[in-house]
Structure formats: C-alpha cells, structure tokens
Amino acid sequence: MKIGIADTTFARVNMGAVAIDELKRHATLRIERYTVPGMKDLPVACKKLIEERGCDLVMALGMPGGKDKDKLCAHEASQGLQLAMLMTNKHIIEVFVHEDEAKDDRELAWLLEQRTREHAVNAVKLLLYPRELERDAGTGQRQGFPDAGPARQ
C-alpha cells in the first residue's frame, strides 16, 4: 500500500513531516510526498499522487488563514478535493486547520500537529483496518481538540 502526502508551504507547521512521522509509527507503507504553495494547489497534487504516482490514499494537509477570503479559498480547495476523490474513486483525507481555531501561535502549532497525527491514524485505519472505524461509529470523534463523545451515555 502507498500513501500520498500533499502539503503546503503556506501552513505554519511542517504538516507533511508530522504526517509521515505518525504513519511510520502505525504501518509499513510506501509514502510519496508532494508539497505545493497553498491549499488551492492541493487537489491536483492529490490527483497526480493517485494517478501518476500510484497512491491508494492521500492526505491533503492545509492551513486556511483566518480572513474571509481564506475561508472562501478553503471551501474552493475542499470542493476540488471532493472532485478529485470522485474522479479517482480514492479517499483523500482533508486535514485542514483554520488559523483562527487556535487562540495563539502555541495552540495553533499544537492543533496543526495533533489533528494531522489523528487523521494519519484515520488514514491507516481506512486503508488497512476498516473494522476499527466501524467500532468507533457514532462515538463523536474529533481531531485535535477533545472528542465530543456520544450524545447518549
């Protein structure tokens, strides 16, 4: 199995390096990396990782800034990622951390790293251990900040 890592120079943490570190802790996989300037460049990078570099699943790592135009940009990038998934019939795990989710740079760095790590685990499960996701269905999982938990205790 081969996992693709698409990340950006715009993000304020090296999300690609974090993802690769986490993936290596959980599975022996071949990894292909493709770094682009910003999140709107991610959809084609992901599609190329799948179609030209043979990836079975790709993680798209990006950091939308806090301004309205960045949020619009994030929505556009996300739609591109959805399209790339439907065109290739492969999962693209979108790991976006909005800069304004965090109260300061320290929390932002933590969140960028933590959400990336937790979604790397999701990527491994989707690809290799789908039963583990099924086991967690309906449990209010979140990535980064604490899980919401099930509504019914």
For ligand RDL, the closer of residues 30 and 75 by Cβ is 75
State the minimum distance, in angstroms, from the CB of residue 111 to ligand RDL: 9
Phi/psi of residue 66, nearest 5 degrees: -90, -10
For ligand RDL, the closer of residues 10 and 28 by Cβ is 10
For ligand RDL, the closer of residues 28 and 103 by Cβ is 103
CA distance 10 to 55: 24
State the minimum distance, in angstroms, from the CB of residue 140 to ligand RDL: 10
State the minimum distance, in angstroms, from the CB of residue 90 to ligand RDL: 12
CA distance 97 to 109: 10
State the minimum distance, in angstroms, from the CB of residue 57 to ligand RDL: 10
Closest-approach residue to ligand RDL (CB): 38
By the criterion CB under 6 A, which residues form the site for ligand RDL? 8, 10, 37-41, 62-65, 69-70, 73, 93-94, 96, 98, 101, 115, 119, 142-144
For ligand RDL, the closer of residues 20 and 102 by Cβ is 102
